Amino acid sequence: MSGRRFCPNCGTKLESNVEFCPNCGFKLAKKEHASPSRQAYQQTVKKQGSSKGRQAYHAQPMKKKTKVLLTLGVAFLAVFTIFYAWGSNHYSKENQINRIKSDLIDTKTGLAKDVVADDSAMQVTDAALKPTQTYFAEHHKAANELINYLKEDASFNRIHLVQSGHHMLIFPRYVLRVPTIYATVATNHSNSSITVNGKYIGQVKPGNFASEKQDNKYGVKLRHLFVGTYHIKVKSNISNRNLSTTSNYDLWSSGTVDMGIRTENFTVKSTPGAILYLNDKNVGTLNKKGQLMFKDYPVTDKLKIYVKAKVGSNTIKSQELNYGDVQYDDANDSHKTIEPKWDGLIAKEDAQEILEDNFKDPDEDAFLNGAENKSYQELRKMDKGYDEDDDIDSYDMSCSVISVSPAPNKSSNVVYKITFTFEVGDTERKQVLLYKGASFRSSDSDDEDNESQKIKSIGTGKIVSDKRY
């Protein structure tokens, strides 16, 4: 059976050694005889290969649920990528520091969300941090220095930047670590009460409060405080007279605040009609002579003094000074004369010297905008006219400044008289002109001599006297 062969074309039984079918003539290929087991294996492999080919060709479509999940996964990844990029920028260290600065200098904004205390026992609230905000709101230069230090991972007056938790569980959250202090207010009268930032603290008690002033034997300890600016008021009844004193203190370390009440006499001199402020409180208007006197007024060395004046449509403010920085009058060690300074205000003698020199011989360097200044051109024309007048044999002039008052933008308003003396033949003629509306402006130079002041305008002159001798 194993040697039988059949024609693959017509099925005729063949002998084992023939090359062509005797029935149909089909050429028979010479094959390698395979065992039944091998044939079965080949047939199985063939069927499997054919089956696999059909399966690959007829792949099953993706299920709808799988497709939805895949789409959602891709969308989530895209949204998360955008969110992370936004968060990395919005919650970057530098941007968080900049937002902290905005809150720090705006007393209308709460600061508690940006702060942790250096003492865990301290309760962090917007109200408790208001003095810290007040200080930096009034000292923008210090606020800028603080921010620069924080960006360099350094501290400023013991204020640090620290990480505290995360924003949205991902991005580091940065806050200020603000120091806390303990303070005591001491005074020299037993029946005194203390108020801090408008809040009543209580009556003073006797004790040793480490005060620099021996008379301050009464005091009260303040609660735990954040560093910053505190408005402290002491009220006392002395000889059946109610007195009080207030001061602003920048508290950056624990210690004693001396608030002894003493009464003194002093006079404030400045521009007539200016309003006087003591510790930011309007206490009166200077009279026509530019004076306001006080007798037995309660003072402290920290009593802040300044004036405000109306100039045209502008209100200008003088420089601030503390009562303790003013010396007593030479002739009276129980009285002080206080004269707040104005930015850019020219001294009377300096104004007089500059005007007199330039009426005699105008110098373009003494004028604002130099040779382009109209007053400079006016004086040059006037001076030339006198020199070329054949009727005038010789002439001279002198200047007398009547008043100097402050003006906006580091300027000064000046009222003065110019007296001309003309020699005309045997006659001497004296002509006096009153100039109003003259103005000087201080230059940016730190030099305080005359060259730091420039003539903006010589004003308008009017003849008030004209006599011949």
Decide which of 3.10.450.50, 3.40.250.10, 3.30.479.10, 2.60.40.1730 is the CATH code for 348-468.
3.10.450.50
The helix/strand/coil state of 25 is coil
Is 24 in a helix, a strand, or coil? coil
Domains 181-258 and 262-338 share a fold: yes
Q: Residue 357's closest CA among 435, 450, 440?
A: 450
Tell me what the mean pLDDT of segment 35-63 comes to: 51
Q: Are strands 291-299 and 262-269 parallel, antiparallel or unpaired?
A: antiparallel
More confident residue, 82 or 413: 413
* CATH of the domain spanning 181-258: 2.60.40.10
Q: What is the mean pLDDT of residues 50-78?
A: 68
Predicted TM-score (pTM) of the model is 0.57
> Residue 48: is its pLDDT beyond 60?
no
pLDDT-derived band at 378, boundaries 50, 70, 90: very high
- Closest listed residue to residue 184, CA positions, set 254, 260, 261, 262: 254
pLDDT score, position 23: 79
Residue 418 belongs to what H/E stretch? strand 411-424
| pLDDT, average across residues 5-13 | 78
Q: What is the CATH number of domain 262-338?
A: 2.60.40
Amino acid letter, residue 170? I
What pLDDT, in 10s, does the model give residues 321-333? 999 999 998 776 7
CB 288 within 8 A of CB 358: no
Residue 375: CA count within 13 A, CB half-sphere? 23
The dihedral sign for the CA sequence 319, 321, 325, 327:
positive
Contact (Cβ atoms closer than 8 angstroms) between residue 316 and residue 407: yes
Q: Which pLDDT band holds residue 51 (cuts at 50, 70, 90)?
A: very low
Domain extents in the chain: 1-30, 93-178, 181-258, 262-338, 348-468
- CA–CA dist 137, 144 (Å, integer): 11
Answer whether residue 364 shows pLDDT above 70. Answer: yes
